[in-house]
Amino acid sequence: MPETVFDYEHHLAACARGERQALRDLYVQESPRLLGVAKRLVRDSALAEDIVHDAFLKIWTGAGGFDPARGSARGWMFSVTRHLALNYLRDHNRELQGDVDVPDSTDTGDAQVHSAHIHRCLEQLEPLRRDCIVHAYVDGYSHAQISHKLGTPLGTVKAWIKRSLTALRECLG
Amino acid sequence: MISKPTDETPQALDELASEYVLGTLSAEQRAEVQQRLHSDIGLRNAVDNWERRLLGLTELAEPRTPSAQLWQRIERSVEALDRPSSTSRVLPSATWWNRLPLWRGLAGAGLAASLLLGAMLLTQTTVKPTYLVVLVAPQDKAPGWVIQASNPREIQLIPLGVVEVPADKALEFWTKAEGWQGPVSLGLVKPGQTLSVPLDKLPPLEPNQLFELTLENPNGSPIGKPTGPIQFIGRAVKVL
pLDDT (tens digit, 9 = 90+) per residue, A1-39?
Answer: 444 579 999 999 999 999 999 999 999 999 999 999 999
User: Above 50 in pLDDT, residue B129?
Assistant: yes
Question: What's the gap in Å between the CA of A76 and the closest CA on chain B?
Answer: 8
A44 vs B229, more confident: A44
Residues A55/B84, Cβ–Cβ less than 8 Å: no
Question: What is the amino acid identity at position B90?
Answer: V
Instruction: Summarize pLDDT for A92-150 with one digit per residue, the tens.
Output: 865 444 344 444 444 434 434 444 789 899 999 999 999 999 999 999 999 999 999 99
Q: Do A165 and B67 touch (CB under 8 A)?
A: no
Q: Which residues contact A31 (CB under 8 A, 6 or more apart)?
A: A52, A56, B66, B70, B71
Best mutation target among B44, B60, B70, B202 (most A Cβ atoms within 10 Å) is B60
**Tell me, what DSSP letter sits at residue B191?**
T
Q: How confident is the model at residue B72 (pLDDT cuts 50, 70, 90)?
A: very high
Residues B228/B215, Cβ–Cβ less than 8 Å: yes
Q: How confident is the model at residue B222 (pLDDT cuts 50, 70, 90)?
A: confident
Choose among B120, B132, B97, B149: nearest CA to B237: B132
Residues A31, A36, A39, CA angle at the centre, nearest 5°?
Answer: 120
Instruction: Summarize pLDDT for B186-218 with one digit per residue, the tens.
Output: 989 988 888 888 887 788 888 888 899 988 888
A32 vs B contacts (CB less than 8 Å)? 63-66
Question: What's the gap in Å between the CA of B220 and the closest CA on chain A?
Answer: 29
Residues B71/A37, Cβ–Cβ less than 8 Å: no
**Beta strands B154-159 and B170-176, pairing class:** unpaired
- Using CA atoms, how far residue A168 sits from A53, A57, B17, B33, B206, in Å, is 32, 32, 14, 21, 39
Q: Do B70 and A113 touch (CB under 8 A)?
A: no
Contacts 24+ apart (CB under 8 A), A120-124: A120/A171, A121/A167, A121/A168, A121/A171, A121/A172, A122/A168, A122/B57, A124/A167, A124/A171
The CATH number of domain A2-91, selected from 1.10.10.10, 3.40.50.300, 1.10.1740.10, 1.50.10.10: 1.10.1740.10
Helix count and strand count (H, E) for chain B? 6, 9
A33 in contact with chain B, both atoms CB, cutoff 8 A: yes
**Beta strands B170-176 and B131-136, pairing class:** unpaired
Q: In chain A, where are the structural domains located?
A: 2-91, 105-172
- Mean pLDDT across chain B, nearest whole number? 80
Amino acid B4: pLDDT: 62
Question: What is the amino acid identity at position B124?
Answer: Q
List the alpha helices (DSSP H) in B23-67. Answer: 27-37, 41-54
Q: How confident is the model at residue B54 (pLDDT cuts 50, 70, 90)?
A: very high
Q: Do A90 and B204 touch (CB under 8 A)?
A: no
Q: Does A2-91 match A105-172 in CATH topology?
A: no
Q: Do A32 and B54 touch (CB under 8 A)?
A: no
User: Above 50 in pLDDT, residue B107?
Assistant: no
User: Above 60 in pLDDT, residue B82?
Assistant: yes
Residues B206/B178, Cβ–Cβ less than 8 Å: yes
The ipTM, to two decimals, is 0.89
Q: Do B152 and A88 touch (CB under 8 A)?
A: yes
CA–CA gap between residue B20 and residue B36 (Å, rounded): 12
Amino acid A3: pLDDT: 46
pTM over 0.90: no
CA–CA gap between residue A135 and residue A102 (Å, rounded): 10
C-alpha count within 13 angstroms, C-beta hemisphere, residue B190: 5
Q: Do A78 and B59 touch (CB under 8 A)?
A: no
Question: What's the gap in Å between the CA of A100 and the closest CA on chain B?
Answer: 17
The CATH number of domain A105-172, selected from 1.10.10.10, 2.40.30.170, 3.40.50.2300, 1.10.1740.10: 1.10.10.10
Lowest mean pLDDT among A159-173, B68-82, B104-118: B104-118
Question: What's the gap in Å between the CA of A129 and the closest CA on chain B?
Answer: 13
Choose among B196, B93, B55, B135: nearest CA to A80: B55
Residues A37/B54, Cβ–Cβ less than 8 Å: no
Instruction: Summarize pLDDT for A78-103 with one digit per residue, the tens.
Output: 999 999 999 999 988 654 443 444 44
Amino acid B128: pLDDT: 63
Measured between CA atoms, the residue of chain A closest to residue B79 is A20
> Cα-Cα-Cα-Cα dihedral of B204, A82, B119, B206, to 10°?
-20
User: Above 60 in pLDDT, residue B41?
Assistant: yes
Chain B residues 200-239 with CB within 8 Å of chain A: 203-204
Residue A49 has its nearest CB partner, among B54, B61, B66, at B66
